[in-house]
Structure 1
Amino acid sequence: MSGRGVLRKLFYKKQHNKDERATEIGMPTNVKQHIHVSKNSETGMLEGLPSSWLRLINTQITPAEQNENPDAAIQAVKFHMYTIKKEKAQDEPFKPFVTEEAITEEDLEIEKLLDKKNAHQSQDSDLSIGQSSEEDVAPNDNFSQRQTMPATPTKHSMKKKDAMMDLTAVVQDLTLIGDESEESPILRKKEMMNAALTDEEVYEELKRICNKDDPYVRFERIKQLGAGASGVVFIAIDSKDNSRVAIKDIDLTKQSKKDLILNEINVLKGFHHKNLVNFLDAFLSYDHLWVAMELLDGGSLTDVVTEVVMKEGQIAAVCRETLQAIAFLHSKGTIHRDIKSDNVLLGMDGTVKVTDFGFCANIVGDEKRQTMVGTPYWMAPEVVTRKQYGKKVDVWSLGIMAIEMIEGEPPYMKETPLRALYLIAAVGRPKIPRWESLSPDFQDFLDKCLHVDVDLRATADELLAHPFLECAMELKTLTPLIKAAQRILHKSYD
């Protein structure tokens, strides 16, 4: 037999045995894979993560910090990369309400992200989730130029096994199951049960719930405030009562998830409160959906905190109004998850309202703050570490917003998002530079907002009864601050 024939025979035999074995064992399901993330005790640096993640960590988190808080560094980069992936994929015109069920789903997505990166290490550059500019920059710090040891043990690294601290993480390995088409019938059945509405069904439902007036006739456009992938936002005059409203004009032909838009409108219609920027009405004209919301002409709280100094009584008033909105949402089983000065809007009379979770995000505020990917500065430690994650994240964020009103910006604002995430996870409660100048009641209020232990942190309802809020000044005292900020920033909503 020729050499080629022998090779063909051997190859056929191997392939035959492989097929037989696969038939007997079957496709693996619900597989768990151990991903070894370790730190080198000699250098203090992490190993075993995807190379692009290690580059990012090593440029922003020192070896000493990695050595002292390795878990915080891992959690920070994992959450940071997930946030970038999520924001780049997001094209919805509304930011969905968050429930504790949604958080559980998010936890699984975050864990799968690390597993996917390791499973496709050979395609690392393609799977770096739209690397941010910070990832594209070559490391230039002294500590970042050191090379970490390879993730796969070599003879050399095995000799140093005793010098390594194993930080093994067990994650769900869904990549071993195969493509979506090879998932188990049970999973496919669940997906079919929860299938999204067709575009035709969405349009029919929108026609049913929307106001029948022609928006192009009813509203007079006054001033455009912003534009993005999800639509155009402008101020308009409602001819029915001559009131000024904010309108988002959404081109439905450009929306890939029309059913989510329908869900959000149904939710917004049921959430009315004096401290929320309330939904007014929706109008459908061919492929354009006009969503009318309350207009607050005082701009965002960000403009005030960055330009003028607030008195404790004014801070107490803003905290009280914001807490009333948070307590209302929590009573409905929802979490805002994005409490910060950018999302608190003011009326010229001092009215304080929390925005409707994304609708007004591109109307007001500093463009740099709004466009920054994955701004983590207001996040509670448990958001990053995924422990005891629930409604009290909003209370922590309120505490950080109170620091904004004291200092003019949140802690770590000058840090990169990844480093800020690391510091939140590693340090926990941030330092407040002007702590000694605060009243005892204000200090106690902040203590109760910023407990790292979620069980010890107050609820929104508990904080509404806190003595600090008794010093709240009248809301109209905010008007001079709003006017001063508008003059400085040359902003007007006329």
Structure 2
Amino acid sequence: MSEALRRDYQVCEEIGRGRFGTVFRCISVESGDSFACKSIDKIILADDSIDRQCIEGEAKIMHLVSGHSNVVQIFDVYEDDTHLDIILELCSSSDLFDRIADRVFSEAEAAAVMKPLMEAVAHCHRRGVAHRDIKPDNIFFDEWNRLKLGDFGSAECFREGELMSGIVGTPYYVAPEVIAGREYSEKVDVWSAGVILYIMLAGIPPFYGESSMEIFEAVLRANLRFPARIFHSVSTAAKDLLRRMICKDVSRRFTAEQVLRHPWMTSVGETRTEADLT
């Protein structure tokens, strides 16, 4: 970590570890408030120009999307010859990955996650940012149980009508056009969010396999099914929304804004809030 950061913050315990860096809890010397610090060792990235570009762009992208209540906020950046340290909002509650393990959500519970998630995704897309790695591990909750979309290490900026390239994402959640190596739009985020909704309602992913290769092959086939024994109590509206999000035909796949306007999103669980999901 940079010396300047250590002057301003007391660095505490490790709270997370990712592909590009380690996350620590830290305390502001001036205010006493707690934050998260994502510390990236630039030496490790020295021989990988693509990874280095992603990391250097993460802070800039977070400044672009910061300010929305459902996006992890960025507060400061410290950089020296060896480290890039990003000071972020601390999300001290469990992430969505922990919350969906070994349980099935009711439609009201799922809607309470999907609404703020899609609000965050729509906000990013309006700012010209595609997240490109939406998965339960990157969906956090703060101490008041508010959902926060985070980890923009794979994010990319785009202009309206402009396509992106590059294979990024995570098995189970990545869109088929990404795996196929084609150029793609910000709608890859809608596909990923649709997979999360499916998992919350079914308890299993829509496409799976014994290895990453088998998962990718299943995603490429995109044969979306709703087994009766699992979906017997799931509403027609929920399944309709899933078909429109997990849609291989990108031209027919919903945008984030269209997801928010879907009847299931506007009616199911309208009296339920994120704070109910404990």
TM-score tier (shorter)? 0.7 to 0.9
- Measured after TM superposition, the shift of residue 413 of structure 1 is 3.9
Task: Kindly report which structure 2 residues correspond to 1:303-322, keeping only aligned pairs within 5 A, or say none.
Answer: 303-322=98-117
What RMSD in Å do the two structures reach over aligned CA positions?
2.6
Alignment partner, residue 444 of structure 1? 240
Letter of the 1:355 counterpart: G
When residues 217 and 392 of structure 1 are mapped into structure 2, their CA distance, relative to the original with a 3 A threshold, is: same
- Measured after TM superposition, the shift of residue 377 of structure 1 is 1.1
- Measured after TM superposition, the shift of residue 240 of structure 1 is 2.7
Aligned residue among 218, 238, 247 for 1:423: 218
When residues 396 and 266 of structure 1 are mapped into structure 2, their CA distance, relative to the original with a 3 A threshold, is: closer
Aligned residue among 238, 253, 263 for 2:57: 263
Query: In the aligned structure 2, how far is the partner of 1:229 from the partner of 1:438?
Result: 36
SS in 1 for 2:101: helix
Aligned residue among 40, 44, 54 for 1:250: 40
Q: Deviations over 1:389-439 (max 9, x none)?
A: 21222111111100111233423445211111112222x132233223111
Query: In the aligned structure 2, how far is the partner of 1:274 from the partner of 1:374?
Result: 24
Task: Kindly report which structure 2 residues correspond to 1:451-470, keeping only aligned pairs within 5 A, or say none.
Answer: 451-469=247-265, 470=267
When residues 243 and 456 of structure 1 are mapped into structure 2, their CA distance, relative to the original with a 3 A threshold, is: same
Q: Deviations over 1:348-379 (max 9, x none)?
A: 422111113249xxxxxxxxxxxxx9742112
Percent identity among equivalent residues? 31
Aligned residue among 179, 189, 198 for 1:403: 198
Alignment partner, residue 474 of structure 1? 273
- Measured after TM superposition, the shift of residue 459 of structure 1 is 1.0
Letter of the 1:475 counterpart: E
Task: Kindly report which structure 2 residues correspond to 1:75-474, keeping only aligned pairs within 5 A, or say none.
Answer: 214-227=4-17, 230-256=20-46, 257=49, 261-272=55-66, 273-284=68-79, 287-358=82-153, 375-386=170-181, 389-426=184-221, 428-433=222-227, 434-469=230-265, 470-472=267-269, 473-474=272-273
**TM-score (norm: length of structure 1):** 0.47
Letter of the 1:462 counterpart: Q
Query: In the aligned structure 1, how far is the partner of 2:145 from the partner of 2:107?
Result: 15
Could you tell me which runs of 5 or more consecutive residues in structure 1 were left unpaired when the two chains were aligned: 1-209, 360-372, 480-494
Query: In the aligned structure 1, how far is the partner of 2:19 from the partner of 2:262?
Result: 42
Q: Deviations over 1:50-106 (max 9, x none)?
A: xxxxxxxxxxxxxxxxxxxxxxxxxxxxxxxxxxxxxxxxxxxxxxxxxxxxxxxxx
When residues 475 and 418 of structure 1 are mapped into structure 2, their CA distance, relative to the original with a 3 A threshold, is: same
Alpha-carbon contact 2:209-2:218 (below 8 Å) kept: no
When residues 388 and 282 of structure 1 are mapped into structure 2, their CA distance, relative to the original with a 3 A threshold, is: closer
Letter of the 1:407 counterpart: A
When residues 240 and 314 of structure 1 are mapped into structure 2, their CA distance, relative to the original with a 3 A threshold, is: farther
Alpha-carbon contact 1:276-1:356 (below 8 Å) kept: no
Query: In the aligned structure 1, how far is the partner of 2:41 from the partner of 2:249?
Result: 44
Alignment partner, residue 158 of structure 2? none
Query: In the aligned structure 2, how far is the partner of 1:280 from the partner of 1:288?
Result: 17
Letter of the 2:172 counterpart: Y
When residues 352 and 228 of structure 1 are mapped into structure 2, their CA distance, relative to the original with a 3 A threshold, is: closer
Task: Kindly report which structure 2 residues correspond to 1:21-32, keeping only aligned pairs within 5 A, or say none.
Answer: none
**TM-score (norm: length of structure 2):** 0.81
Alpha-carbon contact 1:395-1:460 (below 8 Å) kept: yes
Query: In the aligned structure 2, how far is the partner of 1:387 from the partner of 1:331?
Result: 23
- Measured after TM superposition, the shift of residue 246 of structure 1 is 0.9
Query: In the aligned structure 1, how far is the partner of 2:65 from the partner of 2:135?
Result: 20
Could you tell me which runs of 5 or more consecutive residues in structure 2 were left unpaired when the two chains were aligned: 155-167
Query: In the aligned structure 2, how far is the partner of 1:259 from the partner of 1:453?
Result: 31
Alpha-carbon contact 2:58-2:153 (below 8 Å) kept: no
Which protein has the bigger helix share? 1
Alpha-carbon contact 1:322-1:352 (below 8 Å) kept: yes
Count residues with an aligned counterpart. 254
